[in-house]
Amino acid sequence: MPQLRCIRPCLWFDNQAEEAADFYVSVFPNSKITQITRFNESGSEIHGRSSGTIMALTFELNGQPFMALNGGPMFKFNEAISLIVECDTQQEIDYFWEKLSQGGDPQTQQCGWLKDKYGLSWQVVPSKLSEYLADHTSERARRAMAAILQMKKLDIAAIECAAVAR
């Protein structure tokens, strides 16, 4: 089997790669931009970008590597992919929810999901979420899911209360 260095998600933007990477790095701890690649004159008839403008940035969010690409307007994000932020406390959920949803689409907020100002979908969830829902046949999981389905931003105490209700 070949050695694998890492799997790095590539996020395609029209021309907001630097703005988005700067935003994401400002939201998450232990985050940084690690490299910037610029267009040159080669291929300008195809990509239509000026030499010296940013083509791509690599960055890390809490140690997880990503790439942001200024690829043009032909592709947009949709809900078929989302990034999950697992939080141990309600304070963390509140922080990431507020930061990531700022300027985003409030109509897409449901069950811990939100869409940010760049159209990227995120799930801001308790780290114990899979524990609440693990046994899909249990009353505990049914009650927890019923509570979650009533929420936009998830409320850990309300989910726990529903899960343990008798």
What b-and-e string marks burial along 109-130, b requiring 16 or more CB atoms within 10 Å of the CB?
beebbbbbebbbbbebbbebbe
Mean pLDDT of 4-31: 96
CB-CB contact of 129 with 89 (8 Å): no
Mean pLDDT of 136-156: 94
Where do the CATH 3.10.180.10 domains begin and end in the chain?
82-164
pLDDT tens profile 53-76? 999 999 999 999 999 999 999 999
CATH among 3.40.50.620, 3.30.720.100, 3.30.390.50, 1.10.10.10 for 10-70: 3.30.720.100
At 40 the pLDDT is 87
CATH among 3.10.180.10, 2.40.30.10, 3.40.190.290, 3.40.50.720 for 82-164: 3.10.180.10
For the chain, what percentages of helix, strand and coil (3-state, to nearest 5) are there?
Answer: 35, 25, 40
